[in-house]
A and B are shown apart, each in its own frame.
Chain A
Amino acid sequence: MTAPVPIRGDAAVKPAATLATAQTRAVSRRHRGRRWLGQLGLGLSVLVLISPALLFFFWMISLSLKNELDNTAYPPVFIPHPPTLDNFVKVFAENDFLRYTINSIIVSFTATGLALLLGVPAGYGIAKAKASKAAVLILIARVTPGLSYLIPLFLVFQWLHLLGTLTPLVVTHLVLTVPIVVWVMIGSFEALPVDLEEAALVDGCDIWQAFRYVAVPLAKPGIVVGMILSFIFSWNTFIFGVVLAGRDTRTLPVAIYNVLTFEQISWGPLAAAALVVTAPVLLLTLVMQKEIVAGLTTGGVKGG
């Protein structure tokens, strides 16, 4: 390209020599002005977009660090002054929060571990057999409301006298974790180059060895994504626990809903408890953002 394309028709009457320079100047000035305006608009847009999240989490932390007097003050006190950790102490001292935390850890880790044991080989099998129809089943599972699993499974657990143990929670969480792991693993095994496995097979590996020693190590990033998503879904899940958990088997989301009702407890400890529940997931998001985003956008999946 030699000269900028004329934007305004009237410029065309000017002599050719000055035309080019004048236009370059006009275009660049206009361009710079527009660029600057654009940057300003972009900055404002981003600010508007992130401020709801920013304000919300700021307020959540602020509530958890203030004493009760400041929390119920009007106009509200924004900056804790002085900040106090009393609310966190109270949550663990006055409730059996430690037990609920352990319950949550057991359920989420077991449900994630089982999902990986079942889902990684399944994803491999489906990817290798090119059985995309099997993936449709997973999509339907994604579409089904959580409550619809809960009603029949509730009866089954009642018949088996399992209500009040952690088993029903782990089993129902599999409803979420197995499909997400299988879904992520189909994608990541399909993306692997086939040459290495074929070489292993030619060299006398059996199909299990090719899977175990070639495909699985190569698919490690995908396994990590599946593991994180499965853990987060399980950790955040509330709907199954609210029905199936007994007094001693509550997971954290159920516990903050059931135990820390507004009559019993004031805002500070409630916000502190909410922060404790969601902190592991938020920290995981901060550390592993790239993996989580990759997993969510390929699957477009969420729990519940």
Chain B
Amino acid sequence: MSAATAALTPHPRVRSEGRRNYARSYWLFALPAAVVVAAVIVFPWLFTLVMSVHDWKVSGNVYFVGLANYLHLTQDPRFLWAVARTLYFTAAAVVVPVVLGIWAAVCFARSFPLRGVARTIFVLPMMATPVAIALVWTMMFHPQLGVLNYLLSLVGLPPSAWVYSPGTVIPTLVMVETWQWTPLVMLIVLGGISGLPIDPYEAAIIDGANGWQMFRYITFPLVWPFIVVATVMRIIDALKTFDTIFVITNGGPGTASETINMLLYQTAFGYYDLGYASAMVVVFFLLILLVSVALLRVRKLEQWQ
């Protein structure tokens, strides 16, 4: 407590003494959660590090192998392909939802009849159970009986192989991801837009600016921090995508959609090679951390300019 505020309070001596005790007791409130977090979150992190330097099979013996698992990763073409695929998937599954999400936010920021209903419908995909959604998408992708190929035929387009061909599987999964997570981008950006001052827009209208100019020169720069936050969230979530890919393709056809997460699951719970999988987790985690820290740094640099 600063001297100034202490002087304003009726019983400075009692209050400041009390405060000192409180500061310590406030930690007691966090203690039970801290114990649980240590057990189920921090302990697994540390244990993963330990496992990653061992040859650790579920049934067999455990041997210390040093950095062999990590070295193996750098020479494992399956892992390297998985990294490349993850980056490809992530790039598309970030750019498309962010662009669409900004557009949606601009639309939902304006008032129109039934806006609440429209926004609720728009947000539903994000809340729905991913596994349930993935199963319905799988039925829609069916090459002969699927409704999507029928819809394509209605507008005169040839049928697509969707998730059944190596060439189209990742774009199709990106489409599912876009459908599901554009709403989150929209909500974050909308939060930014609704806090904007109205004056610059009034000035722009008087100066005869059109809608695009107002977006480009007023809205976009002002909500930029929110767009960065949404993008970072999107990158983290796209890198971590599991449920939809696992249910719809399980990494297939062949290994055409095998991202790091799919390979990780297969290595750990298909081959039960826990040591190697742990090394993969560490590298994967560092990749995610690196990307998110780098992006937040970019944002900070821009704030200083």
Q: Footprint of B on A, CB under 8 Å? A: 1, 4-5, 7, 34, 38-39, 42-43, 45-46, 49-50, 52-54, 56-57, 59-60, 63, 72, 74-76, 114, 117-119, 121-122, 124-126, 128-129, 131, 134, 137, 140-155, 158, 171-172, 174-175, 178-179, 182, 201-202, 207, 211, 232, 235-236, 238-239, 242-243, 252-254, 256-257, 260, 262, 267, 270-271, 273-275, 277-278, 281-282, 284-286, 289, 292-293, 296-297, 300, 302, 304
Contacts and interface: CB of A to CB of B under 8 A. Distances in A.
Given A42-B110, A121-B32, A149 B41 contact: yes
Contact of B32 (A122, A124, A236): A122
For the complex of A and B, 4 pairs with smallest distance between CB atoms? A125-B29, A122-B33, A125-B30, A274-B132
Interface in B76-118: 100, 103-104, 107-108, 110, 112, 116, 118
Nearest to A146: B242
Contact of B122 (A4, A49, A146, A302): A49
Mostly, the B contact residues are: helix
B41 A151 contact: no
B67 interface: no
A149 B47 CA distance: 9
Given A145-B261, A178-B36, A270-B135, A151 B268 contact: yes
A143 B122 contact: no
Contact of B33 (A118, A235, A293): A118
Contacts of B147: 59, 76
B222 interface: no
Interface in B1-51: 10-11, 15, 18, 22-23, 25-34, 36-37, 40-41, 43-45, 47-48, 51
Contacts of B36: 114, 118, 174, 178
Nearest to B140: A59
Nearest to A274: B132
B103 A45 contact: yes
A297 B242 CA distance: 23
B139 A271 contact: yes
14 contacts: A49-B104, A53-B122, A56-B179, A74-B145, A129-B23, A142-B236, A145-B281, A148-B48, A152-B48, A174-B36, A178-B37, A179-B37, A274-B129, A302-B237
User: Which interface residue of B51, B116, B118, B278 has the most chain A CB atoms within 10 A?
Assistant: B118
Interface residues on B, range: 35 or more
Nearest to A155: B274
A239 B30 contact: no
A292 B126 CA distance: 11
A235 B129 contact: yes
Given A121-B32, A236-B130, A46 B118 contact: yes
Nearest to B120: A289
Given A121-B32, A148-B44, A271-B139, 6 more contacts: A145-B242, A145-B261, A202-B15, A232-B127, A281-B129, A282-B124
A5 B179 CA distance: 44
User: Which interface residue of A50, A140, A256 has the most chain B CB atoms within 10 A?
Assistant: A50
A281 B29 contact: no
Interface stretch (B166-174, B206-214, B297-305): B206-214
Contacts of B128: 236, 278, 281-282
B133 interface: yes
A56 B125 contact: yes
Contacts of A257: 131, 135, 247
Nearest to A239: B242
Contacts of B242: 145-147, 238-239, 304
B107 A275 contact: no
Contacts of B133: 56, 274, 278
Contact of B131 (A38, A128, A178, A277): A277
Contacts of B25: 207
B289 interface: yes
Contacts of B284: 145, 148
Nearest to A148: B281
B277 A151 contact: yes
B161 interface: no
Nearest to B108: A46
A200 B152 CA distance: 67
B191 interface: yes
A128 B22 contact: yes
Contact of A122 (B34, B188, B285): B34
B264 interface: yes
B187 interface: yes
A252 B144 CA distance: 29
Contacts of B184: 296, 300, 302
A63 B139 contact: yes
Nearest to A7: B208
B127 A53 contact: no
B215 interface: no
A140 B286 CA distance: 11
B150 A74 contact: yes
A121 B27 CA distance: 10
User: Which interface residue of B120, B124, B269, B281 has the most chain A CB atoms within 10 A?
Assistant: B124
Contact of B127 (A125, A126, A256, A281): A281
A296 B188 CA distance: 8
Contacts of B277: 151
